Amino acid sequence: MGSWDTDEKKQTHPRAAMIKFKSWLRKRSMKEKIGLGCGAALVVLLFLWFTVDNHDNLFVTAELVHFAGIGVLVYKLTTEKSCAGLSLKSQDLTAIFLAIRLYCSFVMEYDIHTILDLFTLVATLWVEYMMRGPLKSTYNDELDTIETWHVALPCAVLAFIAHPGTTHYFLNRILWAACVYTEAVSVFPQLRMMQKAQVVERFTAHYVFALGIARFLSCAHWVLQIMDGDSFLLTALGSGLWPVMVLLSEIVQTFILSDFCYYYVKSFVEGGNIVRLPAGVV
Residues 57-85 have pLDDT tens digits of 888 888 899 999 999 999 999 999 999 99
Q: Is 238 helix (H, G, I), strand (E, B) or coil?
A: coil
State which of 163-172, 183-192, 217-226, 251-260 shows the largest mean pLDDT: 183-192
pTM for this prediction = 0.80
Res. 33 pLDDT band, cuts 50 70 90: low
Amino acid at 155: C
Average pLDDT over all residues of the chain: 81
* pLDDT tens digits for range 120-146: 999 999 999 999 999 999 999 999 999
Cα 86 to Cα 97, 127, 170, 200: the distances in Å are 18, 10, 36, 9
Task: Give the separation between CA 157 and CA 138, rounded to whole angstroms.
Answer: 34
Would strands 199-200 and 275-276 be described as parallel, antiparallel, or unpaired? antiparallel
